[in-house]
Amino acid sequence: MSGKKYDYLLETLNAAQRQAVASSAGPILVLSGAGSGKTRVLTYRIAYLIERGGIRADNILAVTFTNKAAQEMQERLSRLVPYGASRFNYHDGLWVGTFHSICARILRLHADRLGFSRQFSIYDSEDQLGLIRQIVAELNVPTDKLSPGAIHHRISRAKNGLQTASQFAEASGDFRDEIIARVYALYQQRLRENNAMDFDDLLIYPLELFRQHTEILANYTQRFRHILVDEFQDTNRTQYLFLRALAARDRNVFAVGDDDQSIYRWRGAEVRNILDFEQDFPDCKVFRLEQNYRSTRNILEAAHSVIVKNHQRLPKKLWTEREAGEPVALLEAENEFHEAQIILDKITEEISHHNGGTSSRSFRDFAILYRTNAQSRVIEDTLRRAGIPYVIVGGLRFYERKEVKDVLAYMRLAANPADAVSLRRIINYPLRGIGETTIKKLEEFARVNNLTLLKALGGVGEIPTIKAGSRDKVLAFYNFIDRYASLKNQLSLLEWANALVDATGIVRLLKSENALERVENINEVLRSIHEYAGQFRDATIEGYLERVSLITDIDRWDEKSNAVTLMTLHSAKGLEFPIIFISGLEEGLFPLIRTGDVDSDLEEERRLFYVGTTRAKEKLFLSYAATRSRFTGNAKGLTYNNNLPSRFLAELDQRFVQRESVRRPRAFETHEAEGGKYFGHEQAMPDYENESQENEIQIGKMVKHPQFGLGEILAVDGKGENLKLTIAFEKVGTKKILVQYGNLQIL
C-alpha cells in the first residue's frame, strides 16, 4: 500500500479516531461513545498495524462479541489491506472471531492436553439441560423443590465465576447448594465421558490449558503481538483473564468499548473490567471518541443528562455537528392501550406528514422499544388491527414464544381433543415421566385402532407393553385433559383459563427457575383472554383460539421487509433507526429493579435507558401509562395500578424535552367486562397544571404517595412544571419528588 493510500485512510478519520488508530504500541483504551465509529476505528487500527507498523497479519488477534461483527470486520479489512478477503481466513493469517470461536479454535489444537479428543462436541443449552435432567433423575432430586433449569443456571453462574464443582461444594451453604454441587460434579464428569464441552467450558478450558502448559501460553503470547477487543465493556471475568494472559508478554491490548453501554451484568459481564482498565494497565493511553455521527443534538443532550447520574462511569460527553433537531417528546398516556394507540398515531402522522413533502418515511424507519417482552402484545395487536406491518428482533412474536405456545397447547387440546400436535407438545411438559418410547407405543395403538391420540391415552390399559407406572402417568394426564375439557362449559372463560394454567404447574416451574419474564408472558395471555371476554358477550375458548391463530397466521413479515421494528431495549444494542419509541417508562417496569444490589441494578437500568435513547437518529419519543393493568391471578381478572413515571423522566434535562398530554379519544370508551372495567380506564390523567393544588403545597403539610406512603413536606423548590418537593416519608426516609410526576395527595 502506498504512502498516499495510507494518508488517505487517516484523512477519512476525525482527529480523535486518527490519534487512536495511529497510536504507538502498548495498552490502549478507546472509550467509544454511541454512534462514534468504533468498528471503523478497530478495522483501521488493524490496517494501520499491517501497513505502517509492519506487523504480520498472523500476529494480530481481533475479538468481537457476535459473528455478524466478525464478518463485518473481515469484509472491511479485505477492502483496506492489500491481501484479499481469503487472507484473513487462513490458519496462518489474522484471527478474527468471537470469544467462543477463538477459544474453540485453540482447544481444537490442544484438547488432548486436557484429556479431551480434538473432535470434542460442543453442547448447546438444550443439550446441557437434557444432560442435567438425566443426572437429576439419576440422583432422585425432587424437581418440585429444585428444577433442572434452576440447577443449570446455578452451575453456569459458578463457572462464570471460575468456581469448580469441588469449590462450589466447599462453599455450599444449604441443602439446595449441596444437591447442586452433586449435580455439578456429575455433570462435569459426564461431559468428559461424552467428550463434550458446554459454552462456559469453551472459555474456561483455555485458561486451564495455559495454567497447566505454560509453553502453550508462551507460544500464543509470542504469536499474538497485538490483541484488539470490541465491546470491551461486555467482557466477563473469564474473558478478561483470557485476554490478560495472551497479552502478558507485549501488553498490546487495544480495547474499544463504552462503559455507558454495559447492559449485560445479568449474564456475567463486569463493567469493572473497563472501569479498572487504567489500574490494571497504569501506562495505558486513553482516547475518547465523543463525536457522534448518528443523533441530533437534542437527543444526545437528553441522553447525557440521565447517564451522568451514574456514579460508576468514566467521564465523557457525546457531541455532534448535526442540527439540534426536535425536542425529545414525552407522551403521557392513560393506560397501555392508550399508549399503543398514541404510538400508532405518531407513526401514521410521521408517514403522512413526510410523504407529502420532499422527504419520505417508511415503516422501517420506526422502532418501538420496551423493557420486557410481555409489553409487546398490546402494541402488536394495535399495529395489526391498523394493518401496520411489523417485525420483532431478538425475540419471537408474543404468541410464538415457548411458554405462550405451551399454555395455548393445553387450551387447544381441551378445546379440540383431536389435536395431536398440541398433545405431543405438552404430554411431558412439565415433566411427568412419560417418555418417548411410551408415546410411540400410544401412537401405534391409536393408528391400529383408528383413535385420536388422546383416546389412545384413555385406553392405555389395553397396551401390555407399557408398564404399570407409565400407564398411571398416562392416565393421570388423560384425566387431567378430560376434566378441563368438561369444565370449559361449566365455568366462565376467565375462571376456566386461570384454573387450567394454575393446574398445569408451568408457572410454579418457571418461578423456581427465576424465569419471571416468562411468567409475566403467561399472565399476559390470561390478561388477553380477559380483554377478549370483555369484548364478546358469548366469548368461548374456541373463539379466542381462532383469534390467536389469525394473528399468528397473517404475521409473516420478516426483519428485512418494510415494517415497524419491535424489540426489547437489550436487543436494540448496536442498532439505529430514524425514529425511536421507548414505551412503558414507569417505576417498577423501567427501571426494573430486582432484589440484590439495588444501586448497581439501577445504574445498569440507567445505562439501558441510555442505550435506548441513543438508537434514535432524528426523533425520540418516550411514553408512559398513568395506569397499567395487572393480572391478579384469580377469576376477578385485572386490577389497575396507578403508575409513577420513571425516575429517568425526572432526570431528563427539561430544556430538551417537550411534554405531550394526550387525552383519551372517544375510541377509548370504557367497556364493561366480567370482573370489572377494562381497556379504557376511568381514571383521568393527572392534571399537572392544577394551580389550586400548587397553592396547597406548603412546608409542614402531610402528603400521601402511592408508593412511598405518608410523608411530611420539608422543602419546596421551583414553580409550575419544575416544582420539586423534599419529603420525609415515614417508611422510606427522605425523597425528592417532582410534583408533575409524583401523583401526590395533599392531606
- d(CA 143, CA 512) in angstroms, rounded, equals 10
Out of 247, 265, 291, pick the residue that ends a domain: 291
Residue 429: Cβ-neighbour burial (10 angstroms; 0-12, 13-18, 19+): middle
Name which of 363, 356, 388 is nearest 579 in CA terms.
Answer: 363
Tell me if 599 is assigned to some domain: yes
Nearest CA to 21 out of 39, 3, 1 is that of 39
Predicted local distance difference test score (pLDDT) of residue 176 = 86
**411 and 314 together in one domain:** no
* CA–CA gap between residue 625 and residue 662 (Å, rounded): 11
Q: Please indicate, yes or no, whether residues 577 and 431 belong to a single structural domain of this protein.
A: no
Whether residues 653 and 698 share a domain: the answer is: no
Task: Report phi then psi at 150, rounded to 5.
Answer: -65, -40
551 in a structural domain = no
CA 59 to chain centre: 36
Residue 667, C-beta contacts closer than 8 angstroms, at least 6 positions apart:
341
Query: What pLDDT does 691 receive?
Result: 38
The answer to whether the CB of 410 falls within 8 A of the CB of 498 is no
Between the two ends of the chain, the Cα-to-Cα distance in Å is 77
Active-site residue identified among 294, 371, 377, 615: 615
What confidence score (pLDDT) does residue 214 get?
Answer: 96
Task: Please report, as a single letter, which amino acid is at residue 436.
Answer: E
Whether omega for the bond prior to residue 327 falls within 30 degrees of 0, making it cis, is: no
Q: Looking at the structure, do residues 260 and 385 belong to the same domain, yes or no?
A: no
Catalytic residue from among 51, 198, 200, 230: 230
> Which one-letter DSSP state was computed for residue 419?
-
Collapse the DSSP code of 269 into the 3-class scheme (helix H, G, I; strand E, B; otherwise coil) and give the result.
strand
Indicate whether 45 and 62 sit together in one domain: yes
E strand segments, 50-103: 60-64, 95-98
Number of domains in the chain: 5
Q: Are residues 490 and 575 in the same domain?
A: no
- 311 and 276: one domain? no
Task: Quickly count: other Cβ atoms within 10 Å of residue 456's Cβ.
Answer: 24
Residue 684 lies inside a defined structural domain of this protein = no
Q: What are phi and psi of 315, to 5 degrees?
A: -65, 130
CATH of the domain at 389: 3.40.50.300
> Does one domain contain both 426 and 456?
yes
- Rounded distance, CA 352 to CA 199, Å? 49
The per-residue pLDDT for 671 is 32
Overall size of the chain counted in residues: 747
Q: Of residues 261, 382, 614, 627, which has the active-site annotation?
A: 261
- Residue 257 sits at φ, ψ, to 5 deg, of -175, 180
- Nearest CA to 622 out of 657, 671, 673, 669 is that of 657
Residue with cell 485458561: 207
Residues 577 and 659 in one domain: yes
Assigned domain for 574 exists = yes
Task: Judge whether 381 counts as a catalytic residue.
Answer: no
Angstrom CA distances, 123 to 76, 152, 358, 658, stand at: 32, 13, 54, 51
Note whether 59 and 90 are within 8 A (CB): no
d(CA 410, CA 484): 9
CA distance 295 to 27: 30
The 8-class DSSP code of residue 319 comes to B
The owner of cell 463504552 is: 258
Domain termination residue (choose one: 266, 291, 316)? 291
* Structure confidence at residue 80 (pLDDT): 81
The CB density around residue 200, as the number of other CB atoms within 10 Å, is 20
Please check whether residues 410 and 489 belong to one and the same domain. yes
Write 730-739 long-range contacts (CB < 8 A, 24+). 732/708, 735/708, 735/711, 737/705, 738/650, 739/688, 739/694, 739/697
Q: Give CA–CA dist 444/451, Å, rounded.
A: 10
Q: How many helices (H) and strands (E) does the chain have?
A: 30, 24
- Within-domain flag for 237: yes
Element (H, E) at 702: strand 702-705
Catalytic residue check, 38: yes
Q: Which of 424, 422, 398, 331 is nearest to 619 (CA)?
A: 331
Catalytic residue among 200, 201, 231, 301: 231
Catalytic residue among 19, 39, 188, 291: 39
What was the pLDDT predicted at 742? 66
Q: What pLDDT sits at residue 84?
A: 45
Parallel/antiparallel/unpaired status of strands 627-631 and 638-642: antiparallel
* Of 18, 38, 182, 617, catalytic: 38
Q: Is 615 a catalytic residue?
A: yes
- Residues of the chain whose pLDDT is less than 70? 1-8, 67, 82-92, 119, 121-124, 126-127, 194-195, 354-359, 394-397, 546, 549-560, 593-597, 631-639, 661-696, 698, 700, 706-707, 719-722, 730-733, 740-743, 747
pLDDT of residue 41: 94
CA–CA distance, 59 with 250 (Å, rounded to integer): 11
**Domain co-membership, 170 together with 267:** no
Which residues neighbour 155 within 8 Å (Cβ) at sequence distance 6 or greater? 132, 180, 183, 184, 187
Same domain, 384 and 407: no
Tell which of 546, 576, 606 closes a domain.
546
CATH of the domain at 476: 1.10.486.10
Asked if residue 534 is part of any domain, the answer here is yes
Q: Are 254 and 48 in contact (CB under 8 A)?
A: no
Is 278 within 8 Å of 284 (Cβ atoms)? yes
Spell 717-732 as b/e; 16+ CB within 10 A means b: eeeeeebbbbbebeee
In a domain, 116, yes or no: no
Q: What is the structure's pLDDT at 129?
A: 82
Can you read off the three cell numbers belonging to residue 46?
488493524
Q: Please confirm, yes or no, whether 736 is among the known catalytic residues.
A: no
Q: Does 115 fall in a domain?
A: no
Task: Indicate which CATH number applies to the domain containing 163.
Answer: 1.10.10.160
The CB-side HSE value for 318 (13 A sphere, CA atoms) comes to 32
Q: What residue type is assigned to position 564 of the chain?
A: V
In this prediction, residue 501 carries a pLDDT of 95
**Amino acid letter for position 271:** V
Please state, in angstroms and rounded to a whole number, the distance separating the CA atoms of residues 276 and 579.
35
Report d(CA 627, CA 447) in Å as an integer.
Answer: 53
Residue 6 buriedness (CB in 10 A; 0-12 / 13-18 / 19+): middle
Domain residues for 528? 400-546
pLDDT at 682: 32
